[in-house]
Amino acid sequence: MNPKVEMFANRLRKNLKRLVPWAAQREVEAYRLYDRDIPEVKLTIDRYGPALVVYPYVYSGEMTEAEQQEQDSYLQDLLNTTAQLTGTSRDQVFVKERKRQKGAAQYERINEEQAELVIRENSHRFLINLSDYLDTGLFLDHRDTRALVQKMSAGRRVLNLFGYTGSFSVYAAKGGALATTTVDLSATYLAWAKRNLQLNGISLSQHRQVRADVLALLRDPLTVPDVRGLFDLIVLDPPTFSNSKRMHGTFDIKRDHDWLLRATLRFLAPGGVIVFSTNRRGFTLRSEDFPMLRIRNISADTLPKDFHDPLIRVCYLIEATEQPKASPSRYGTPRHSYG
């Protein structure tokens, strides 16, 4: 056996011994089994019930035919070892290659297999698509953040911006939210969010899905009259970067987070809270840049047990101590257009 494959097998055995009982006890059927734990074996493996999704980090530059064959053989050895140790049939092992994405490519359809299943997470149910998109519909690194939102939602009006498939809305509704509003630009993901709510026995009468460009909404709330009033809890999980054709201009979380937060605050009721997160590595939200806000870094508190990289994302609880004033140069005629 290839020495690297053997090292990988030993580590995967240890991970399975640690994580399988933990997940079963908590009714968690979707979790991370391996994430480049060994530097020599660059692979990420996520379990979804009876299936696995594998993201290989393979060299994609110019190679000779012999080098390509060697790389393909090595990957197949890793996949076979993974299937054997986890007791998963090879037809339930889905392989996806992560590449640098442009615009909203990360969320676009890449296949038409429709390999769907429903998994449990903390007694909730979610629809997963294993084949047709780069991501499956449920971000596993947000599991503990979702649980926190559930605890905070009782009696609150919740706004879920960049709502994706509505997992935060499901947790909020199950936590006793008075109402939730899920906003996303994709009709596909909003329909998915609706299915997730229905899977959990949640009435749609107080839990709405609104199709809109969130950045355009934040720039000018009147562009989306369906999102009215103030909210007691806002979930804000924006993309790190976007130059989608459906948007005018570009968005970069490092460059534009000041504008993003100040605009979001206009939807926050007195005493309300924003849960803000981003997967941008190296991102820091500095309290001194926002004297009108009370900011608490909860990244370490919300890092799930199956994730060992503390830099995978950052998460903050944000409360307004005073209402920010919108700068005409920033909101009226912004330097960057987000609509």
- pLDDT tens digits for range 204-247: 999 999 999 999 999 999 889 889 889 999 999 999 888 755 55
Neighbouring CB atoms inside 10 A of 47's CB total 24
Overall average pLDDT of the 186-210 stretch:
97
Do 125 and 241 fall into the same domain?
A: yes
| pLDDT score of 60 | 66
Of the pLDDT bands very low, low, confident and very high (cuts 50, 70, 90), residue 334 is: very low
Q: Which of 77-91, 102-116, 296-310 is least confident?
A: 102-116
Lowest-confidence region among 36-50, 205-219, 290-304, 310-324 = 310-324
Domains in the chain: how many in total?
2
Residue 101 clears pLDDT 70, i.e. is over it: no
Co-location of 128 and 189 in the same domain = yes
Burial class (CB in 10 A: 0-12, 13-18, 19+), 270: exposed
pLDDT in tens, 31-85: 999 999 999 999 999 999 999 999 998 766 778 888 888 889 999 999 999 999 9
Q: Which residues are within 8 A (CB) of 223 and not within 5 positions of it... i.e. 6 or more apart?
A: 212, 216, 217, 339
Q: Residue 98: pLDDT band by 50, 70, 90 thresholds?
A: low
CA dihedral 105, 111, 115, 121 (to 10 degrees): -10
Residue where the block lists tokens 């599991």 = 143
**pTM, 2 dp:** 0.89
**Per-residue confidence (pLDDT) for residue 133, from 0 to 100:** 86
What's the confidence (pLDDT) of residue 326?
A: 47
**To 5 degrees, how large is the angle CA 195–CA 201–CA 204?**
65
| pLDDT one-digit tens code per residue, 264-288 | 999 999 999 999 999 999 899 988 9
pLDDT at 151 over 50: yes
pLDDT at 112: 56
Residue carrying structure tokens 């009982």: 21
Euclidean distance between CA atoms 36 and 33, whole angstroms: 10
Shared domain check, 256 and 222: yes
* 210 shares a domain with 74: no
* 223 and 287 belong to one structural domain: yes
Q: Is residue 106 part of a domain?
A: no
Quickly tell me which residue has 């089994």 as its tokens.
33
CATH number of the domain to which 45 belongs: 3.30.750.80
Q: Given 99, 130, 155, which residue is the final one in a domain? A: 99
Are residues 164 and 284 part of one domain? yes
- C-beta separation of 227 from 264 below 8 A: no
- Quick one: 163 and 227 in the same domain? yes
Over residues 137-142, the mean pLDDT reads 97
Instruction: Assess whether 62 and 170 both reside in one domain.
Output: no
Please give the residue range of the domain that contains residue 24.
3-99
Q: Which helix (H) or strand (E) holds 254?
A: helix 253-264
CA-CA distances (angstroms) from residue 78 to 34, 135, 251? 12, 21, 37
Mean pLDDT over the full length of the chain: 88
> By percentage, how much of the chain surpasses pLDDT 70?
87
> What is the structure's pLDDT at 114?
73
User: Distance of CA 226 to CAs 1, 8, 169, 221, 248, Å?
Assistant: 60, 51, 17, 9, 21
**φ and ψ of 44, to 5 deg:** -120, 135
